[in-house]
């Protein structure tokens, strides 16, 4: 397939296909090969998450802007993205959400720590370990959840973490933390997730996009498969994505 007809739909689908086809061929964190799985997963996820927000949702909510507007290409999909990434509704009600996220915040106080130097603060890691962190993530607005994830991916606000959810130099990467400031720049928002669960989330996200967009003509024109023909269950995806 050449130049995309619907960039925000087709490019995430292509990126996810790369993930499914190539992920298990990459070296893990052990042995002599470079540990590329975490880097590849993170890199591939950028167009999957960012493009629908930047090229559909942005223009759906600001129709006067037109220079990269995919919202007009499929009204059904644009409406679905706008509904799902709701300003107020809890994110756990969205079709793309998986219940494995953890959430915490850090007030700025006299200043934010330099996470590039110190990694994930232990006080935040401990908060994320608590069961309440799962509930706090579920109860974020869908808009806030997607904004944190989008900003972290777009601006490099990502931390590689070990199996315990800590920043430890040289340790195999088993989790990610996505970090974003709020609009006032007075608070840091942290979303933490296991790598296997993040991969399952990406599957759910792509399935959601396809499910909302597909009509017979669109499927034929773009070569898209119906979600039921393509989808791997989230449980199966998580098992398949387990990093050895």
State pLDDT tens for residues 84-121. Answer: 999 999 999 999 999 999 999 999 988 899 999 999 99
- Which SS3 state, helix, strand or coil, does residue 87 take? coil
Q: Which candidate, 44, 73, 37, 39, places its Cα nearest to that of 56?
A: 73
pLDDT, one tens digit per residue, over 152-170 is: 999 999 999 999 999 999 8
User: What is the pLDDT at residue 214?
Assistant: 65
In angstroms, how far is CA 206 from the centroid of its own chain? 10
Q: Which residue would you say has higher pLDDT here, 35 or 58?
A: 58
Q: Residue 236 pLDDT > 70, yes or no?
A: no
Q: Is the dihedral of CA 237, 87, 177, 9 positive or negative?
A: positive
- Residue 161 and residue 177 in contact, taking contact as beta carbons nearer than 8 Å: yes
With a cut of 50, say whether residue 61 has pLDDT above it: yes
Does the pLDDT at position 190 exceed 80? yes
Phi/psi of residue 224, nearest 5 degrees = -90, 145
Poorest-pLDDT segment among 12-21, 53-62, 222-231: 222-231
Q: Which residues are CB-contacts of 155 (< 8 A; sequence separation ≥ 6)? A: 180
Residue 175 has pLDDT above 80, yes or no: yes
Whole-number pLDDT of residue 144 = 97
Residue 64: is its pLDDT beyond 60? yes
What is the average pLDDT across 224-235?
44
Cβ neighbours of 52 (radius 10 Å): 30
Provide the whole-model pTM. Answer: 0.84
Greatest Cα-to-Cα distance within the chain, rounded to the nearest angstrom: 57
Task: Give the confidence band of 1 by pLDDT, cuts at 50, 70, 90.
Answer: low
Task: Quickly count: other Cβ atoms within 10 Å of residue 45's Cβ.
Answer: 23
Residue 7 is predicted with a pLDDT of: 84
The pLDDT score that the predictor gives to residue 231 is: 42
């Amino acid at each position: 397939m050449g130049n995309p007809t619907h960039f925000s739909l087709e490019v995430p689908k292509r990126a996810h296909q790369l993930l499914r086809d190539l992920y298990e061929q990459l070296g893990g964190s052990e042995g002599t090969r470079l540990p590329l799985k975490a880097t590849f997963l993170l890199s591939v996820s950028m167009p999957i998450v960012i493009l629908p927000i930047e090229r559909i949702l942005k223009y759906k909510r600001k129709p006067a802007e037109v220079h990269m507007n995919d919202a007009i290409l499929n009204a059904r999909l644009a409406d679905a993205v706008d509904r799902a990434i709701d300003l107020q509704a809890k994110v756990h009600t969205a079709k793309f959400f998986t219940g494995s996220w953890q959430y915490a915040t850090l007030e700025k106080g006299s200043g934010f720590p330099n996470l590039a130097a110190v990694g994930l603060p232990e006080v935040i890691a401990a908060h994320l370990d608590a069961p309440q962190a799962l509930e706090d993530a579920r109860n974020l607005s869908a808009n806030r959840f997607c904004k944190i994830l989008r900003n972290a991916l777009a601006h490099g606000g990502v931390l590689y973490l070990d199996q315990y959810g800590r920043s430890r130099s040289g340790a195999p990467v088993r989790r990610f933390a996505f970090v974003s400031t709020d609009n006032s720049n007075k608070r840091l928002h942290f979303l933490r997730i296991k790598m296997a669960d993040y991969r399952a989330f990406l599957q759910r996200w792509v399935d959601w996009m396809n499910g909302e967009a597909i009509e017979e003509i669109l499927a034929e024109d773009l070569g898209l498969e119906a979600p039921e023909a393509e989808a791997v269950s989230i449980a199966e995806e998580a098992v398949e994505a387990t990093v050895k």
